[in-house]
Amino acid sequence: MNTNAGDTELSPAELINYTQYPIDQPQDQATQAIIRQIQVGLAEDGCAVVRDFLSPEGLRALLKEAEERSPQAYYSQKKDCNVYLNEGDASLPSDHPCNRFLPRTNGFITTDLFGEETAAHRLYFWEPLKDFLATCLGKEALYLYEDPVSSMIVNVGRPGQQFNWHFDTNEFTITLLLKAAQSGGYFEYVPDLRSPEDECYAEVQKVLDGDRSRIKRLDLREGDLQFFLGRFSLHQVTANTGDTDRLLLIMSFTEKPGVVGSVARVKDLYGKVTPAHYASEQQKVRADKLLD
């Protein structure tokens, strides 16, 4: 029984636009076509959008859950962040990307606020979704991001709020836009700005210095699914210039099992850490040696 929605509980397949995207049937022609579309998008610019991925009922249920929880969103005390969302590096010059701090004012509804009874939880833990994403990425398997605070979250962008240029900890993210900003609140990104082998500091610096030549802006609409490689593509959300909140559901996946965010980053962004964060600090699992 769904105690939140007060109406019939929707199955994961009912949350999505299943007729168009029967993703639990990998051999279906429609699924094959959408996999190809995503693969082309990812290869061309590290990002792909699936229009109207959510069913109208699914969008309604997920939005309702997010709106109910948005008063509990966490807003960091620290408002100036670098692209690595870490403390910076005093041994480097002040204009080095590690020491360039920009305003970040958005908030997050964290994973722990979405119990097992929620539609968001059901969708995130739906095995066919994970398998579908792995196929799109040409990987044998994909793993849920095991961070108990930030694996599946909602980014809340109130009027005036923004999220600075940054890289994610986890490799793959899907986002579902639940409520668009009336104006502003654009997702902008630079595909593949860094690679697992190279931080590409000079290229990061150019973006921070205002070079927009490599920047792409996404046309994302409510109910769309965005497929994104956030560990390698620098990205930001521009200021919400409308009068209503922008709400975006984020589900994260990793290449290796057992990835958990760093204590400092998670505490700062999401306001809480768990014993799992401290445990993973001793034995950090990452598929590369990049900063996060």
Ligand X SMILES: O=C(O)CCC(=O)C(=O)O
By the criterion CB under 6 A, which residues form the site for ligand X? 155, 163, 168, 175, 187, 235, 237, 248, 250
Contacts of residue 16, defined as CB under 8 A and 6 or more positions apart, other chains included, come to 23, 53, 54, 55, 58, 123
Q: Which C-beta is closer to Fe ion: that of 10 or that of 49?
A: 49
Q: Are 266 and 149 in contact (CB under 8 A)?
A: yes
Task: Give the residue from 226, 251, 22, 39 showing the smallest Cα distance to 138.
Answer: 39
Q: How far is the CB of 120 from Fe ion (least distance, A)?
A: 18
Burial class (CB in 10 A: 0-12, 13-18, 19+), 19: exposed
Using CB atoms, what's the residue nearest to ligand X? 155
Q: How far is the CB of 110 from ligand X (least distance, A)?
A: 11
- Show contacts with Fe ion in window 206-245 (CB under 5 A): 230
Q: How far is the CB of 230 from ligand X (least distance, A)?
A: 6
Q: Which C-beta is closer to ligand X: that of 25 or that of 105?
A: 105
Q: How far is the CB of 237 from Fe ion (least distance, A)?
A: 8
Residue 279 token pair: 């445990």
C-alpha dist (Å) from residue 51 to 34, 111, 216: 10, 25, 18
Q: How far is the CB of 163 from Fe ion (least distance, A)?
A: 7
- Distance, in Å, from the CA atom of 151 to the CA atom of 149, rounded to the nearest integer, reads 6
Q: Are 250 and 175 in contact (CB under 8 A)?
A: yes
* Interaction of residue 171 with Fe ion, rule CB under 5 A: no
- Show contacts with Fe ion in window 73-132 (CB under 5 A): none
Q: Which C-beta is closer to ligand X: that of 129 or that of 174?
A: 174
Site residues (vs Fe ion, CB under 5 A): 168, 230
